[in-house]
Structure 1
Amino acid sequence: MIRTLETVVFRSRVVILAILAVLTVWLGWYALQLKMDAGFYKQLPQGHPYIETFLQYQDRLFGANRIIVVLRNKKSDTSTIGDGKPKDDSETIFNQPFQKKLNDVTQDIFFLPGVDRRTVTSLWTPNTRILEITEDGITARDVIPGTVTPDEMSGQAINQLRNDVVKGNLVGRLVSNDFSASMVVAELLEIDPKTQQRLDYFELAAKLERDIRGKHESGNFQIHIIGFAKMIGDIADGAQSVVIFFALAFLLTVASVYYYSRSWLLTWLTVGCSLTSVIWQFGLITVLGFGLDPLAILVPFLVFAIGVSHGVQQVNLITAEVANGASGEGAARASFRGLLIPGSMALITDLVGFAVLYIISIAMIQELAITASIGVALKIITNLVMLPIVASFFKYPENFVERVNAARDARIGAIRFLGNVANPAIAFPVFIGYLVLFGIAVNESEKRHVGDLHPGAPELRQDERYNVDSRLVAQKFSVGLDLLTVIVETPPLACVNYNYMKHLNEFSWFLRNQPGVRDVQSLPFVAKQINSGWNEGNLKFRDLPRNQFALVQATSPVGTSSGLLDVDCTLLPIQVYLIDGKAETIKPVVAAVKAWIEERGHKPVLSAGTFNSDKVIPVEFLPGGRVKRESSDPTSSWTLTREQLVNLRYNAPPLGEIKPLQFRVEGFAEISADGMPKGDPIAKGTVKVNPDETGAAGVDILSNIRGTEWDNAAHFLIRDVPDGLLIRLASGNSGVAAAVNEEISKQELPTTLAVYAVIIILVFFTYWDWRATVCCCLPLTFATFFGYWFMLNTEIGLKVSTLPVMVLAVGIGVDYAFYIYNRLQYHLSVGLNVTESYKQAITETGNAVIFTAVTLAIGVSTWSFSPLKFQADMGLLLTFMFVINMLMAITALPAMAVVLETLIPRKTRPWAPPGGH
């Protein structure tokens, strides 16, 4: 079959090359239109419970995608008193020039594209208010009245501002702790509500640099900007250097391939075919409507590297055939025939390795999976078909054979020495040594980190302007970008119910005392301060009043713009500010919230079904389930299908008395478009519930509504259901980061197992030998866990940018194993023992395997000098993975083969692999 395919391909080689040339021109035109593409929502793991919470409340809660601009008085750098605070007003924010500049910055931010103007907050915006204790009680007013202009900010106005900043508890929030800087905060809209166009983060980042920093940073004023939009813009700017490192790696690859092949024709053919596939890849992803994310900017080089890897194998076999006297066409045919099967297997494995990343529900990784899979799939055409076809036209000079043989003879000594690893006396100690190292690596890999290991933007180096700004904001302010919002869903008017408020107050205090938490804001905390204010500031009254009317008085001054409650008090979020955004900071706080929910969290009063396997959920989260809350009292009316009635459970209302109760049930034949019952009920009834001492009970509605009148009821309305309290994670950018980290941690094992499953299937059905499966997969497993061990020791976290590299390493590693084992089994099939077979195989393919790994490692090692920290980390990790996979293929694989042949001898010869000769 292989020879038939060979004959068809090479007889039609002119037609095939013509078609490929047209395809290259067409896709090349689209490749020129490829653009960088970034988006905040592309970073979110869709379907994760935290993200579902975030998306549900994104219009009412903020903090996940914000920008923070800090205006700082540089005079404070050189003139401070003993406690670190500036000496006089000229070195603080309390002077007219500073306030005028702050107002200008606020106005310019207000009109930036993508800014949600409702959320712009600074000392100059009307949503920054102060609650002041007076002889008449409490007055609420703007910190800077609307009647005061920037030019009038002097004298009495400045003194009033100074007092109001302290009274309004704005120190550490909008004003730095040392009074030298002030903050402007704004949320971003991913989709423009008018045009429905996605926000261009690169344009916004450029405007922040040009219209905010460039315009307002001068003299004694310095601007500091942080936020996702600025970070992704800085990454995009740094990503431009990728072109330089790509060019450097390209030149090193060209020089190395020429050194190996001793032919400029074969050199340019190898790199040309790899570049062709990259051009096709760019063109196709443009046609499909995708862009290139800055965090996935390295994918094209990885695809290029895979192409060079397979191209060198082709060059290796072509030069060997030419050296043995074959013509150019004969050598190309032999290469096509001999490498089609192992090359296809290797590329299919690479393809599956990237494709399985699609199961991770993060849009950016899914786009990466698509673009990388396209690139690898194209390698089957460019490297396994196009390369040998073009090579078949080559004529080699007479001295070419002499140059090739001289180069091969120079390398053959070292290669033959490596063949000694297949001697049983060496193979067994080598294999046992690797097993010991593997055990250590498995143990150490359990300590590896998922998520960011460094504060600020770990994708950038610590001395980059963004991280310098991030550190300054963290040092001078008590709040910043690292916000975790815990959602608390309550019955209506829970904000004036002492039991609920007391529970939230205890929860807030619990969170404030967790390691890694800088500050906590919640309605009970604010209400206690206001209650003290209504009592002349007496600290004895800084507590929650039990009287409902006093509680109304304590909470009424707090508006919905504070983000601490909604209009009917069914949403009372808790804002948790963390010291940084590192995974080791976020994870314990999230774990603390989960522990509280498990121990003291309250489930919905009536629940149906499960969520995340063990969490009961309210009916509105079920397909077809609807709920309508009554405004007059804390009850709900629930609409359910007949199937959903089976799973109903009752839990006594939280913080209340356990007592029997009954629900009114009505049956309906159909529901309206909004999911509520339509028309008059066709049947009515009641269901009694008697909870046990824990407050739990089953709700067997179907047994209580027997009767023919219920037979036609498809939907059931349950009335008078008391509402409960539900604590949910999470919003805020730290909540989003926690969701991403959990998703990667959850999906890492399934994706790796999926790749291994494909490798096992391919190897077994290609060689029909379980030994081949073990010999190819076990060294690969060694290399994978050695990679995790390496990541731990070099402080590289497993995250969106590193997970694809580890999956790629699996594909590259098995490439080496396929090429070596393919020749090993061929020699076994003709009667050689395993030791001699490996010594023959390593002399035929060892040069190419070692050369490819070293060349690619040298190329990516130059990335260590990149201004982008994540690119430098990827270069370091890829360099290690290229080398360790090569070492496993040329040492662990033969050692494993010898151990198996010795302990479990073959009874018959294996069959020759397809294409072997």
Structure 2
Amino acid sequence: FEIQIIGFAKQIGDIADGASGVLEFCGIALLLTGLAVYWYCRSIRFTMLPIVCSLTSLVWQFGTLRLLGYGLDPLAVLVPFLVFAIGVSHGVQQINFIVRGLAHGKTTEQAARESFTGLLIPGTLALITAIVSFITLVLIPIPMVRELAITASIGVGYKIVTNLLMLPVAASLFTFTKEYAEKAMLKREERSRWLHALARVAEPRNAIIAVSIAAAIFGLSVWQSRGRVIGTLQPGAPELRPEARFNRDAVAISEGYDMGLDWLTVVFEAPPDSDRNVAIGAFVDDFAWRMSNIPGVMSVDSYANQLRLYNEGYNEGSPKMSVVPIDPMNYAGLNAEIARLRGYMNKDASMTAAHIYLTDHKAQTINGVIRAAKEFRDTHRLENVKVRLAAGNAGVQAAINDEVEKSELPMMLYVYAAILILVFLAYRDLRAMLACCMPLAVGTFIGYWFMKELQIGLTVATLPVMVLAVGIGVDYAFYIYNRLQLHLGEGATIYQAMEKALAFEAMATIFTAITLALGVVTWSFSPLKFQADMGKLLAFMFIVNLIMALTALPALAVVLERILPRKSRAHVSEILSHPVDKIGIPGRRG
């Protein structure tokens, strides 16, 4: 024989056990991030600098959460480590700038000053956009998601201080030899030789081809992402993996017995003292019969079922009497007995219920049952009786799915609007607004396509990921376009400016994306399914947005320059007007 255990307490216990293992994955991510940063800069001090600054902001974040009375639930427990990865990625940009300055003969203080001024605008834009993307999550009226939004917003806000201010100040206190800087630059340029080929995407003919390919991919991803599911797609507890013991037990019990672990309760609200209104019993009986024939419904246990059972029992068990009584006195007498049971009615029958047990909690199943219940409510009316939807875990899941569906589009629009406004304020250029946002839109729909192919539904765990992927993914665009705008302001042609921008930023941007992906990809091994889905989706979106920033953005910038030629030099913010070195293309010395 085999012992199988299910129930709410067992489910919560398994979730808690899975959440306790998140520290192991975060430790592995921290180690991988540290090794990757060292491989990039070949300096223990430069490796420790972004890590210590990011950990400092984490300490501040945890302290602030404690003061505000917030904790970390299984959904929000991953956010601090995502924020840590964001901090390290911005720290890599600072190191890239400082090492380049040291290689050109600057002192550490001079290099740190230029890093601060050169990255203040793109870094601030990127972090503010990330904060806005987190804040939009507050629109979802689900406490767990709102707590996640507050936790993340606090952490990213502190990054502006620790990574854009503290890091260059701390770096200015170190002393590095010019030999180290030259070796680091030489190693970096050796890794960057292939960027010559990448820079060719900014050639007019290649740019048109690249934009056409991006447009085709955008159209294909929009088409393929149609019909994506709001809600979960797997049976069992959605928080756990399908192979988890709880889910295997749940499936075995639901298959072997006429009972489902997922139920949806519909309530019938009537005026007070309705215990003699026989029409209510017939109305609930009709509803229960119709719902029992809906695909995905395993069984229905309702107030009308109890009326049938008690009526048969009080008539010597005669099957003929398994009906809803029509005599008011008999009806009231049975109600007095049924009221002693919990979950079917209150004492005066002003509220009765039907419990619908489902085969699973898949979005398709829940949506079909909710749709059928609403159809019954709209087509069958009983005077002074209201049909209320819906309680039970499936009813709660249906309400959550409804809120997620309603919140998705407004949240995305708010994030994109914030990006457009920030880009316009920084660069005063319509071309910049289009060049920064259009590649992100392509990446977003590729992400939806990815979710559909991997059977990842849009839930309270994955919707924040899609919103955050936009808010964080725009970092790459800001850093690259910032350099482009600077070189255009110096009088370079669009191709020359893009070639220099990619030469300066591409390698650091690639490494930034890798750092972010390393920080979250370890989540995919979590025993909690929603954490694994978040990890896979975030890592995928970081890489997709990187590819879009290195290909579609330069190509689109060149095409827009030809469609909307400039009448004067590009607008450059005063903070970027400090003297800059003439940056050559990797591999070209002198």
2:307 matched to which residue of 1?
A: 527
Which one-letter code corresponds to 2:464 in the other structure?
P
Normalised to the residue count of structure 1, the TM-score between the two structures is: 0.61
Cα pair 2:485 2:572 within 8 Å, conserved: yes
- Residue 307 in structure 1 maps to residue 90 in structure 2: no
1:827 matched to which residue of 2?
A: 487
More helix by percentage = 2
Deviation at 1:495, TM superposition (A): 4.2
Deviation at 1:796, TM superposition (A): 1.2
Q: 1:529 to 1:232 in 2, by over 3 A?
A: closer
Deviation at 1:549, TM superposition (A): 2.7
1:414 matched to which residue of 2?
A: 194
Normalised to the residue count of structure 2, the TM-score between the two structures is: 0.94
Distance 2:253 2:397 in 1: 20
2:565 matched to which residue of 1?
A: 905
Does the residue aligned with 1:573 lie in a helix, a strand or coil?
Answer: strand
> After the TM superposition, which of the residue ranges 296-305 and 456-465 deviates more from structure 2?
456-465
Q: 1:536 to 1:401 in 2, by over 3 A?
A: closer
1:325 matched to which residue of 2?
A: 105
Distance 2:532 2:466 in 1: 15
Deviation at 1:601, TM superposition (A): 3.6
- Residue 280 in structure 1 maps to residue 97 in structure 2: no
Does the residue aligned with 2:551 lie in a helix, a strand or coil?
Answer: helix
Which one-letter code corresponds to 1:267 in the other structure?
T
Does the residue aligned with 1:298 lie in a helix, a strand or coil?
Answer: helix
Does the residue aligned with 2:250 lie in a helix, a strand or coil?
Answer: helix
Does the residue aligned with 2:18 lie in a helix, a strand or coil?
Answer: helix
Q: Say which of 283, 297, 304 aligns to 1:503.
A: 283
Which one-letter code corresponds to 1:295 in the other structure?
L
Which one-letter code corresponds to 2:204 in the other structure?
P
Does the residue aligned with 2:350 lie in a helix, a strand or coil?
Answer: coil
- Residue 744 in structure 1 maps to residue 424 in structure 2: no
Distance 2:511 2:399 in 1: 41
Cα pair 1:262 1:403 within 8 Å, conserved: no
Q: Say which of 245, 254, 258 aligns to 2:25.
A: 245
Moved over 6 A (4+): none
Matches within 5 A, 1:48-127: 74=1
1:779 matched to which residue of 2?
A: 439
1:66 matched to which residue of 2?
A: none
Which one-letter code corresponds to 1:315 in the other structure?
I
Q: Say which of 438, 452, 459 aligns to 1:792.
A: 452
Which one-letter code corresponds to 1:520 in the other structure?
V
Distance 2:392 2:529 in 1: 25
Alpha-carbon displacement from aligned partner over 1:184-222 (angstroms, at most 9, x marks no partner): xxxxxxxxxxxxxxxxxxxxxxxxxxxxxxxxxxxxxx3
1:109 matched to which residue of 2?
A: none
Deviation at 1:756, TM superposition (A): 1.1
1:575 matched to which residue of 2?
A: 355
**Of the two, which has the highest radius of gyration?**
1
1:4 matched to which residue of 2?
A: none
Deviation at 1:579, TM superposition (A): 1.0
2:535 matched to which residue of 1?
A: 875
Does the residue aligned with 1:594 lie in a helix, a strand or coil?
Answer: helix
More RCO (CA 8 Å, sep 6+): 2
Q: Say which of 474, 478, 487 aligns to 1:818.
A: 478
Deviation at 1:554, TM superposition (A): 4.4
> After the TM superposition, which of the residue ranges 351-360 and 496-505 deviates more from structure 2?
496-505
1:358 matched to which residue of 2?
A: 138
- Residue 733 in structure 1 maps to residue 393 in structure 2: yes
Does the residue aligned with 1:557 lie in a helix, a strand or coil?
Answer: helix
Deviation at 1:538, TM superposition (A): 3.4
1:446 matched to which residue of 2?
A: 226
Cα pair 1:359 1:751 within 8 Å, conserved: yes
1:620 matched to which residue of 2?
A: none
- Residue 844 in structure 1 maps to residue 504 in structure 2: yes
1:635 matched to which residue of 2?
A: none
Q: Say which of 492, 498, 507 aligns to 2:272.
A: 492
Deviation at 1:914, TM superposition (A): 4.0
Distance 1:788 1:349 in 2: 21
Alpha-carbon displacement from aligned partner over 1:379-438 (angstroms, at most 9, x marks no partner): 000000000000001111242023122212202311221111111211112111111211
1:460 matched to which residue of 2?
A: 240
Segments of structure 1 that go 5 or more residues without pairing to the other structure are 1-73, 78-221, 603-653, 655-723
Cα pair 1:822 1:913 within 8 Å, conserved: no
Which one-letter code corresponds to 1:255 in the other structure?
L
Which one-letter code corresponds to 2:169 in the other structure?
I
1:257 matched to which residue of 2?
A: 37
Identity, % of aligned positions: 49
1:755 matched to which residue of 2?
A: 415
- Residue 895 in structure 1 maps to residue 584 in structure 2: no
Distance 2:241 2:279 in 1: 49
2:212 matched to which residue of 1?
A: 432
- Residue 770 in structure 1 maps to residue 430 in structure 2: yes
Q: 1:551 to 1:401 in 2, by over 3 A?
A: closer
Distance 1:386 1:529 in 2: 73
- Residue 862 in structure 1 maps to residue 522 in structure 2: yes
Give the superposed CA RMSD: 1.7
1:628 matched to which residue of 2?
A: none
Alpha-carbon displacement from aligned partner over 1:108-153 (angstroms, at most 9, x marks no partner): xxxxxxxxxxxxxxxxxxxxxxxxxxxxxxxxxxxxxxxxxxxxxx
Which one-letter code corresponds to 1:895 in the other structure?
A
Which one-letter code corresponds to 1:781 in the other structure?
A
Cα pair 2:344 2:353 within 8 Å, conserved: yes
Alpha-carbon displacement from aligned partner over 1:33-90 (angstroms, at most 9, x marks no partner): xxxxxxxxxxxxxxxxxxxxxxxxxxxxxxxxxxxxxxxxx2xx6xxxxxxxxxxxxx
Q: Say which of 155, 159, 162 aligns to 1:375.
A: 155
Cα pair 1:486 1:730 within 8 Å, conserved: yes
Q: 1:914 to 1:516 in 2, by over 3 A?
A: farther
Does the residue aligned with 2:7 lie in a helix, a strand or coil?
Answer: strand
Q: Say which of 254, 258, 262 aligns to 1:478.
A: 258
1:342 matched to which residue of 2?
A: 122
Distance 1:502 1:542 in 2: 13
Distance 1:239 1:322 in 2: 44
- Residue 224 in structure 1 maps to residue 5 in structure 2: yes
Deviation at 1:458, TM superposition (A): 2.5
Deviation at 1:594, TM superposition (A): 1.0
Which one-letter code corresponds to 1:252 in the other structure?
L
Which one-letter code corresponds to 2:465 in the other structure?
V
Distance 1:303 1:327 in 2: 31
Q: 1:240 to 1:498 in 2, by over 3 A?
A: closer
Distance 2:120 2:10 in 1: 47
Distance 2:305 2:7 in 1: 28
Does the residue aligned with 1:520 lie in a helix, a strand or coil?
Answer: strand
Distance 1:233 1:284 in 2: 28
Cα pair 2:311 2:322 within 8 Å, conserved: yes
Q: 1:390 to 1:323 in 2, by over 3 A?
A: same
Distance 1:329 1:493 in 2: 82
Which one-letter code corresponds to 2:515 in the other structure?
T
Distance 2:372 2:549 in 1: 45
More strand by percentage = 1
Cα pair 2:82 2:520 within 8 Å, conserved: no
Distance 1:545 1:362 in 2: 43
Does the residue aligned with 2:265 lie in a helix, a strand or coil?
Answer: strand
Deviation at 1:873, TM superposition (A): 1.8
Distance 2:524 2:353 in 1: 43
Cα pair 1:339 1:915 within 8 Å, conserved: no
Distance 1:259 1:523 in 2: 68
Deviation at 1:449, TM superposition (A): 1.6
Distance 2:515 2:50 in 1: 13
Q: Say which of 368, 371, 389 aligns to 1:588.
A: 368
Q: 1:601 to 1:784 in 2, by over 3 A?
A: farther
Deviation at 1:440, TM superposition (A): 2.1
Deviation at 1:528, TM superposition (A): 2.3
Alpha-carbon displacement from aligned partner over 1:841-862 (angstroms, at most 9, x marks no partner): 0001111101111233244333
Deviation at 1:569, TM superposition (A): 0.9
